[in-house]
Each structure stands twice: as C-alpha cells, then as structure tokens.
Homo-oligomer: A and B are copies of this chain.
Amino acid sequence: MSRHFEHLLSQRTKSMRGNAIRDILKVVSQPGMISLAGGIPAPESFPLEQMYTINDTVLDKYGTTALQYDFTEGFTPLRHALVDFVAQKGIQTTFDDITVYNGSQSVLDLIGKILITPNDLVALESPSYLGAISAFNAYEPDYIAIDTDDDGIIPESLEQVLSKHSIKFIYIVSTFQNPTGRTLTHKRRQQMAEIVKQHGVLVVEDDPYSALRFRGEPVLPFYTYAPENTIYVSTVSKTFAPGLRVGFCIAPPVIREWLSIAKQGADLHTNTYAQALASEYLTGGYAEEQLPKIINLYKPRQEAMLDAMERYLPNTYHWTKPDGGMFIWVEGPDGVDAEQLYWKAVERKIAFVPGKFFFINPDQGLGTMRLNFTKIDEETIDHAIKILSEVIRDNS
C-alpha cells in the first residue's frame, strides 16, 4: 500500500532518481554539526531591518497590483530595474529582453523543458553545478564533460567536443563557479566565444555569484562576449534574499518566447509581491548599501578559511583561492577518498561535500572536496579546518 500508484510514474522519473549527495548530507542537520557543506548565504547578510520599510513602500507604491496576478514575463518595474542592474555588470539590454522566474533554478528547468528531447546531448564543465544537472535530468538528456583547469573551460577540450558531437547547449557557471570557485578568465572567455560562434552553439551562462567579488578586477559576463549565442541566467538570491525566489534571464528572442510559453504552463508567473520587493530593493538605494556589507561579512570568512588551510592542511593538498563567491575547492593527492574522509569528519562534527558528486564521470574527483565559507564565522571556520586537517592526517 505504501508503494500505491508507483506503477503510474512516468518514464522520466527514472532519470530523476538517485541524488546520492542528498542521502549522505542528511547527517549535516545533526545537532552540533559544523557544516561547510551548504551553499547558503549567511542570514546576517539579509537586509532584515530594511524589509519593514521596503514592504511599506511596496504597498504604498503598488497597492493591490503587488498582490494580483501579473504578466508571465515578469513584474514591469522589476524588469526595468534589472536592465540597470545588469548594466552595472556590463550588459547592455532592454526591458523586452529580460524575463523573470522563480529563482534561477526555474530558468534552468524551463531551458531543459523547451530544448531537451530525451537523449539530446548537453555539455557541462567538469565538475559542474549539481542543481543544474537535477533540473535538466527531468528531460532525459545525455551529458558530455568539458575539461576545466584553474582558468575555467579549456578551449581545446571544448573544440574537441563540438567538432565530434552535436549538442543542445553548453552550461557554465562563469564566475566563482559552484563547486570550484574558479572564474573563466577574460582570455578564455574570448577563446570560448570565438569557438561557440564558429560552431553556432548556444551557451547557458549561470551567474549567481559575480556580485560577491572580494578583490581583483571584475570580468565581464560571458554573455557580453557572445550575446547572440548566450542565455544569461542570474538571480537576486545572493545579493538580496534567496527565500524570495527571484531569478531572471536574458535570452535570444526565440528562446525567450518559448521560455514564456513554457512558464505560462508551469506556474503562470513569478510571485508579484516578491518581484515588487526586489524592484524596490534594487531601485530604492538598498542594494548599493547592502552589497558592501555582504562582502565585508564574507571576505574575512574566506580569508580565515584560506589562512587555516595554509596553516593546517598537509602540503600535498591544493586548493583554489577565488576572488569571491561562496566556495573553495580542495584537491587531495592521488589515492585520497574524500567520501571516506567525509564520514570520518562527520564523526568529529564537521561536514563538507565530497567533490566526486559534481562530476559526470564517476571515476573523477575522488580526492576533491567543496567547502563553503559564507555560513559560519571566522573562529568556527578556523576550528573546522583544523579538525578536518586532523582527520586527513589521521587517515593518510
């Protein structure tokens, strides 16, 4: 009886099952656990006090419109605000070109819906963001991995994939990547743009983290290098509040129109009230004020983690030193089994994500780990890395 109606499940649920990472991460919520595993903003980074005023302003300014059904494409004032928001990142676009979704996760789902026929090939950075894979899986694609190094996607690997295979699109997290923290360099963006234009290929650029830059010069979004070949996807989750689920995209006209048709069937439109809040946050001077605070919160946390790694980790270990974002990627020497280390670390109340889960190929990344530094304070981070290093030494 408990498996009642299981026989009715669609074919596609077979490719949606089995998120092994969710199973192993269940222990993370145990009391006393220090988690470097999530990808969650610090709650103290949210503009809680300002929310009282933002709410009142939204109700005064928009009245019942903020509570009513709205256009599938997005709340008009927010779409205007987003034109200015992306202009700060160097993207020139128009009101018509920006459409709004339930977080960027929902853009990825709808991209899968309108583009992927079962067994179509989707190209991914290796390693890649798991949430995107779980969005695409429902549409039953096959995947092909593109090799990366510290500068992001390796052009030769991309060229090789595209010359051998016909793909639906390439999915990348271009700046402060999840899981590695790596940024595709300016030069690599140029090279990649040239290759995708030459092959007439579509790129999905996911850019949730670029505003969280602690140091160094900003790189322009990949979109600006190949606007006609790129769907640019972003969110206010990392710079305002993720609970509001407000993401957006800029896409070539045919794609944008189909995303709206698909969205109409999937959820009618994105929460009007949340969009009104986001609009007020972006245009009312709140974002300018809050972003430096968020960076001032995260930067020392990242520095504390990098310092602790330098101090405690064996010198056979290597890690990325990103200029921003939320993650550091650690690679152990050959023979290290990071999942085994995970279980040992969990016994000592420290959790992280074993990096192998971010690879398509199950043999890759066995000795890698993703560590998040945004959620806990410097002292706790130092303690966590110290314990993790002890676990590593005890098991090598």
Interface positions of A (Cβ within 8 A of B): 2-6, 8-13, 16-17, 19, 40-41, 43-44, 46, 48, 51-52, 55-56, 59, 63-70, 102-103, 105-106, 109, 113-117, 120, 131, 134-135, 137-139, 168-169, 202, 228, 241-245, 252-255, 258, 261-262, 264-274, 277
Contacts and interface: CB of A to CB of B under 8 A. Distances in A.
By CB atoms of chain B within 10 A, which of A6, A10, A102 has the most?
A: A10
B67 A120 contact: no
A271 B103 CA distance: 9
8 contacts: A17-B261, A48-B64, A68-B241, A102-B270, A106-B266, A135-B266, A273-B273, A274-B274
A120 B270 CA distance: 29
A70 to B, nearest CB: 6
B244 A4 contact: no
> 9 closest Cβ contacts across the A-B interface?
A243-B272, A43-B64, A67-B241, A55-B55, A134-B265, A11-B117, A106-B267, A102-B267, A109-B266
By CB atoms of chain B within 10 A, which of A8, A59, A135 has the most?
A: A8
A19 B253 CA distance: 19
Given A19-B264, A106-B267, 4 more contacts: A12-B117, A16-B114, A243-B271, A245-B267
A63 B70 CA distance: 27
Contacts of A113: 10, 12, 138
Contact of A114 (B10, B46, B137, B242): B10
A268 B103 CA distance: 8
Stoichiometry (number of copies) = 2
A67 B52 contact: no
A106 B48 CA distance: 29
Contact of A255 (B5, B44, B115, B261): B5
B116 A10 contact: yes
Contacts of A244: 67, 271-273
A68 B117 contact: no
A199 to B, nearest CB: 13
A140 to B, nearest CB: 10
Given A244-B271, A254-B3, A269-B245, A51 B67 contact: yes
Contacts of A228: 4
Nearest to A47: B67
A115 B9 contact: yes
B16 A44 contact: no
A233 to B, nearest CB: 13
Given A267-B102, A274-B274, A46 B59 contact: no
Contact of A4 (B48, B52, B64, B254): B254
Nearest to A141: B10
Contacts of A70: 243
Nearest to A4: B252
A275 to B, nearest CB: 9
A17 B117 CA distance: 16
Contacts of A245: 102, 267-272
Contact of A8 (B11, B13, B103, B202): B202
A13 B55 CA distance: 39
Given A11-B117, A67-B244, A6 B48 contact: no
